[in-house]
Amino acid sequence: MPSELGLYIHLPFCARRCPYCDFWALPFSPAWAKPLRQALGRHLARLTEIHPVSGRELTSVYLGGGTPSLWPAFALSSLLAEIKKNFLLAEGAEISLEANPDSLSPGKLIKLRQAGFNRLSLGVQSFSPKSLEILGRSHKPGHINRAVQWARQAGFANLSLDIMYGLPGQSLPMALEDISRLLALGSEHISLYQLTLNPDTPLGRQYRTYCAPMPDEALLLAMEDQGYQMCERAGFTRYEISNFARPGFNCRHNSSTWRGGDYLALGPGAHGHLNGCRWANYYDVAAYITAWSGGGEGVEFYEQLPPEQRALELFMLGLRTAQGVDLEQVSGIIGQPASQYYRLALARLPALGWGRIIYPYLKPTALGLRMADSAALLFFPE
Name which of 116 and 136 has its Cβ closer to ligand SF4: 136
Residue 46: CB minimum distance to ligand SF4, A: 27
Site for ligand SF4 in 180-199 (CB under 6 A): none
Q: Does 66 bind ligand SF4 (CB under 6 A)?
A: yes
Interface with ligand SF4 in residues 87-106 (CB under 6 A): 100
Q: Which is nearer to ligand SF4, 94 or 102 (CB)?
A: 102
- Residue 331 has a CB neighbour count (10 Å cut-off) of 18
Sign, CA dihedral 59-65-102-22, equals positive
Q: Near ligand SF4 by CB under 6 A, which window of 15-23, 33-41, 169-177, 343-351?
A: 15-23
Is residue 218 packed enough to be buried (19+ CB in 10 Å), middle (13-18) or exposed (0-12)? Answer: exposed
In the chain, at which residue ranges do the beta strands (DSSP E only) sit?
5-11, 13-14, 26-27, 58-65, 89-99, 119-125, 159-165, 189-194, 237-240, 243-245, 262-266, 271-274, 277-281, 299-304, 325-326, 355-358, 361-364
Work out how close the CB of 377 gets to ligand SF4 at its nearest, in angstroms, rounded to a whole number: 29
Per CB under 6 A, 144 contacts ligand SF4: no
Asked if residue 269 binds ligand SF4 (CB under 6 A), the reply is no
For position 21 contacting ligand SF4 by CB under 6 A, the verdict is yes
CB nearer to ligand SF4: give 28 or 210: 28
Which residues touch 49 (CB under 8 Å, ≥6 apart)?
A: none
Task: Tell me the chain's radius of gyration from C-alpha atoms.
Answer: 21
Query: How many Å separate Cα 349 from the centre of its chain?
Result: 27
Among 1, 23, 34, 212, binds ligand SF4 (CB under 6 A): 23
Which one, 66 or 227, has the nearer CB to ligand SF4? 66
Q: Which of 67, 121, 126, 281 touches ligand SF4 (CB under 6 A)?
A: 67
Angle at 263 between CA 164 and CA 259, to 5 degrees: 65
Question: Interface with ligand SF4 includes 164 (CB under 6 A)?
Answer: no
The least distance separating ligand SF4 from the CB of residue 272, rounded to whole angstroms, comes to 20
| Helix, strand, coil in percent for the chain, rounding step 5 | 45, 25, 35
* Footprint of ligand SF4 (CB under 6 A): 14, 17-18, 21, 23, 25, 65-67, 100
